[in-house]
A and B are shown apart, each in its own frame.
Chain A
């Protein structure tokens, strides 16, 4: 009899624990998701509905007007395409050139390899924002101010060190017997890299592509500095143009915010396992 009571007691306490855990988790999830819900809901509201008290959670009448207006009246479509263009180029170039570098550090033998490798670590003493100033002067000197290249070139430069380190590790983890076999079969080093190593390193390449994409899609402060005209602005910078000191176009702004976050969130849901941060990639956080 006593035994049965004890089991019941354990069961009830177990249920209580689960109840608490789930309440905390669901509460947390609501706090995490609510701003997105608010953003999406606002983007479908009509003008009269935004400034109403009490505010409505869901729009009374769904309207796509804000998206159409944001896309046409402000050059939001242009911002979006600018960001897309820049991010794609940067990502492709970074994946290509850092995989070459990572492979060289992992597998090729040449003089000064260690020296060049440690040379990359000078980036640790970068004075952060202060290095924007020489970058800015350099871009001006090259006549690239307010062009796509003013963003693309530095973005590539700032995404060299960590991808190279990560890919070096990745290539090192691939057994070298495969390469030896290919060498015996008469493959050139370039063929080995291209036909054998790259396909094997695919997960690493995807990880790098994602983090480079995130960086270039989100980058704000340099894009703000190196561009000046409306038609060169990227999505994050362009969005702030909807907010002036005197008025803010909340409806178009929320439509813009949805458009800006959509590509990343779609990528995230599709390729979730590659998004897991490793400590090596931490510097991307900022």
Chain B
């Protein structure tokens, strides 16, 4: 081996060691595991049986349906609010740095903290802050158990996801907005286009590649919704907030059904990937100007 090669490999060795052991090997091994029935001392090849079990499991489909709902609500929710605030903060106004900082704080706070604080504010008693506000403006006449009522419990989780995520997308949109040539706005102004038309026909098409990327990434994030559900409801009441990952977590580490857990992972992966490809393909149309 040449000296140059040796030098390169020695620079890469530590990174490759950790990558291979904790990323690459688990990918290969979990794929293998998904065809086995795993028991503590032996394992047995069962073919596609784990996959069949997942697909025939009503709890899987329930978690799948819930997760799709999370995606459908929280991804556009984050995009719309983030875009709205990004456009406002892109104006030359005083104090925009401060607002940017404030909106970004939830992004850097851990899920465990924000989920806990939200849970505290959603306390089912009348001294929970949300109930207190709604009671005092007369919107409700008795305290609501937000996290204990099937059909309601998903709402606060979605609100939390949107609240925490706005700042992240906003900062990326702000960076994209900086790249839109101001000349275009000036020309449009002379032509008499109002704010909405300038946004609709100049800003939106020009930053659509960024919107597509953000949408794809938020979708991956929303499919992986876990700590917020685990802490706020644990998937309950009666499974109405259960997400794919909370279901997978229970199956894998409470029931120690590793075959089921890995098969589920490989069933979800192509779904997420194909949704992402579609999003990027349809949202980031080439823009010419």
| A interface, CB within 8 angstroms of B | 18, 21-22, 24-25, 28-29, 31-33, 35-36, 38-39, 42, 50-55, 96-98, 100-101, 103-105, 108-111, 113, 116, 119-120, 122-123, 125-138, 153-154, 156-158, 160-161, 164, 189, 193, 214, 217-218, 220-221, 224-225, 235-237, 239-240, 243, 250, 253-254, 257, 260-261, 264-265, 268-269, 272, 275-277, 279, 282-283, 285-286
Contacts and interface: CB of A to CB of B under 8 A. Distances in A.
30 contacts: A36-B105, A36-B117, A39-B117, A52-B127, A97-B14, A97-B15, A110-B2, A110-B5, A111-B2, A119-B24, A123-B23, A125-B27, A129-B249, A129-B252, A131-B27, A134-B26, A138-B25, A158-B23, A193-B11, A218-B110, A236-B227, A239-B116, A240-B230, A240-B231, A243-B119, A250-B120, A253-B120, A254-B120, A277-B171, A279-B217
The B contact surface, by secondary structure, is helix
Contacts of B224: 128-129, 286
A53 to B, nearest CB: 5
B5 A128 contact: no
Given A97-B15, A260-B113, A220 B168 contact: no
Interface of B: 2, 4-9, 11-12, 14-16, 18-19, 21-27, 29-31, 33-34, 85, 88-89, 91, 93, 99, 101-106, 108-114, 116-121, 123, 125-129, 132, 136, 163, 165-168, 171-172, 175, 213, 217-218, 220-221, 224, 226-227, 230-231, 245, 248-249, 252-253, 258, 261-262, 264-266, 268-269
Given A100-B11, A277-B168, A268 B105 contact: yes
Nearest to A264: B108
B242 to A, nearest CB: 14
Contacts of A38: 117, 120-121, 129
Contacts of B101: 269, 272
A220 B109 contact: no
Contacts of A28: 85, 99, 103
B7 A110 contact: yes
B221 A286 contact: yes
Given A42-B120, A50-B127, A261 B113 contact: yes
Q: Which 6 A-B pairs have the closest CB atoms?
A: A130-B265, A157-B22, A110-B8, A127-B265, A236-B112, A104-B11
A156 B248 contact: no
The A contact surface, by secondary structure, is helix
Given A108-B8, A111-B5, A135 B22 contact: yes
A52 B126 CA distance: 9
Nearest to B1: A111
A275 B97 CA distance: 14
B65 to A, nearest CB: 18
A236 B111 contact: yes
A10 B99 CA distance: 26
Contacts of B213: 279, 282
Q: Which of B8, B33, B119 has the most CB of A within 10 A?
A: B8
Nearest to B259: A133
Contacts of B165: 285
B117 A220 contact: no
Contact of B112 (A100, A131, A154, A220): A220
A125 B270 CA distance: 9
A268 B120 contact: no
Given A110-B6, A129-B252, 10 more contacts: A18-B93, A101-B16, A120-B19, A127-B262, A153-B22, A160-B23, A254-B117, A264-B108, A277-B172, A286-B226
B2 to A, nearest CB: 8
B102 A33 contact: yes
B38 to A, nearest CB: 8
Given A25-B99, A38-B129, A160-B18, A253 B116 contact: yes
Contact of A132 (B108, B120, B252): B252
A275 to B, nearest CB: 7
Contact of B26 (A42, A135, A193, A240): A135
Nearest to B136: A54
Given A98-B15, A127-B268, A39 B227 contact: no
A243 B231 CA distance: 9
B22 to A, nearest CB: 3
Contact of B268 (A96, A101, A128): A128
A108 B4 contact: yes
A142 to B, nearest CB: 10
A285 B113 contact: no
A237 to B, nearest CB: 7
B27 A104 contact: no
B119 to A, nearest CB: 7
A101 B12 contact: yes
A243 B18 contact: no
Contacts of A189: 7
